Structure 1
């Protein structure tokens, strides 16, 4: 499994992930940026499209059996339950679905139901099987949906388009990766966020390499950092108007600038070599 990540949004993760997937074929592309999934937009000829709910556990209180002892709310570390003299209030957005309230209830008044937090979508475009999650508006926790999207994967080669940043959704997305491809840009902001992302993947003991997008702008800070840290720069994508225009229209630039297909295939070969 190869994850594509970065320390900030807008560096070109989806550009790299989609063009890499289209260039190599016979791959599963997982868009785990479930708050704003957009990888599928670059594959307009989708076939076999289907969707299902992503459900998470949630407590159901039997008010007739409940004695208002308060043990469930005392146990809940996320304050998802509040016990009052006449009823128990549940705050579903705070619930992590651990089921602890069910275990500690002495009256058996708690059972576990489910609620939907988003959708899992599946489709195919040629040799690329696409999976993506779509978190419902207002839902605060993306990690259960990311976990569910990854659980749907069944291929030998998986590409994960991760969320931006370095918070919990990113960690869940890159967890279990054989290699993490970090996309950055040669600017001071790009360097700062890249350095944070490197700390995260190293803490997770995942080997990594860098793709420099929009090369030719900014300064040499990213290159000097990678040299100091011993991080391989596996590909550079230049700052070109044609690439920007094609991407802004939802087109895979490697399909038009066909010489890039070989470059993305070579990128995969370099990743496989670096991951050994």
Structure 2
């Protein structure tokens, strides 16, 4: 089973929820994995520390066009759905825009003159950490300058163990990296905050998940900070409220030190235990 922890905006407490939920579940003895899918800015390792078991480089294939063999027939450019090939027949120039290439192989298939070969380009890395005897962490991280983390997110999720309960710490927002993560999940936990910005971005996430036909529930972080706009919205929409995390300065102090509140503040261990139970009730409903 895969459970994604996501949010419509950054800073709502998504990583707070995913790391502490992981900590509580693994202490039950269940085989558990946490995957940091925020490949552009991974930060789970700031709170969950383990021994490096394996590091894998991720690569993509970039076409290389030999202008000496090219007849400038235009087939490769025609087959490329991403406009990654620039061709100027009048001056015998043809070039690949690497940042636009999606490694689909269409240009290689289209070329009948053996003018296109491929080279490998390193796009990032996937690091696996052992966390005790029954849990591990997978961290995806893109190289600087890589325009899209979507391929590495998919590769990292593919490494999830079938027998483990896998938590996916999703990238913030509702763009392609978010969708690449939640579409692989069996259930999605949306983390929000009781502010107008939190409500606005929660609505965007809800609309996206409904289009994807995903089951989901909501955790309200910093509960008590402002007017309870979120609860009214959830009642109107019939959305499950999984748990409240109170607005507590002690959480900020612990979090700022890179520690887990489920270790430092015992009452939050119980709270996240209840959150896990509520998630499983929703999954099985």
CA distance in 2 between partners of 1:50 and 1:250 (Å): 23
Is 2:153 aligned against 1:146? yes
> Which residue among 114, 119, 129 is the counterpart of 1:113?
119
> Which residue among 233, 239, 245 is the counterpart of 1:231?
239
Match of 1:246 in 2: 254
Is 2:224 aligned against 1:216? yes
Deviations 1:246-271 (A, max 9, x none): 00111011101123223212212211
> Which residue among 60, 82, 94 is the counterpart of 2:100?
94
The more displaced of 12-21 and 49-58 is: 49-58
Give the drift of 1:68.
2.0
Q: Is contact 2:12–2:191 with CA below 8 Å preserved after alignment?
A: yes
The more displaced of 54-63 and 172-181 is: 54-63
Is 2:38 aligned against 1:6? no
Q: Secondary structure at the match of 1:218?
A: coil
Q: Is contact 1:11–1:183 with CA below 8 Å preserved after alignment?
A: yes
Give unpaired runs (5+ residues) of structure 2. none
Is 2:34 aligned against 1:33? no
CA distance in 1 between partners of 2:243 and 2:66 (Å): 58
TM-score between the two structures when normalised by the length of structure 1: 0.95
Give the drift of 1:138.
1.4
CA distance in 2 between partners of 1:91 and 1:176 (Å): 30
Match of 2:138 in 1: 131
Q: Secondary structure at the match of 1:264?
A: helix
CA distance in 2 between partners of 1:16 and 1:34 (Å): 18
Match of 2:23 in 1: 22
CA distance in 1 between partners of 2:45 and 2:53 (Å): 11
TM-score between the two structures when normalised by the length of structure 2: 0.93
Give the drift of 1:74.
2.5
Q: Is contact 2:65–2:95 with CA below 8 Å preserved after alignment?
A: no
Is 2:43 aligned against 1:43? no
- Runs of 4 or more off by more than 6 Å in structure 1? none
Q: Is contact 1:22–1:128 with CA below 8 Å preserved after alignment?
A: no
CA distance in 1 between partners of 2:60 and 2:182 (Å): 21
Give the drift of 1:48.
3.4
The more displaced of 63-72 and 237-246 is: 63-72
1:132-211 counterparts in 2 under 5 A? 132-154=139-161, 155-211=163-219
Q: Secondary structure at the match of 1:163?
A: coil
Is 2:272 aligned against 1:272? no
Aligned residues: 275
Give the drift of 1:57.
2.2
Q: Is contact 2:59–2:124 with CA below 8 Å preserved after alignment?
A: yes
Give the drift of 1:56.
1.5
Q: Secondary structure at the match of 2:281?
A: helix
Deviations 1:224-260 (A, max 9, x none): 0001111111111111111001001110111011232
Is 2:63 aligned against 1:59? yes
Q: Is contact 1:99–1:112 with CA below 8 Å preserved after alignment?
A: no
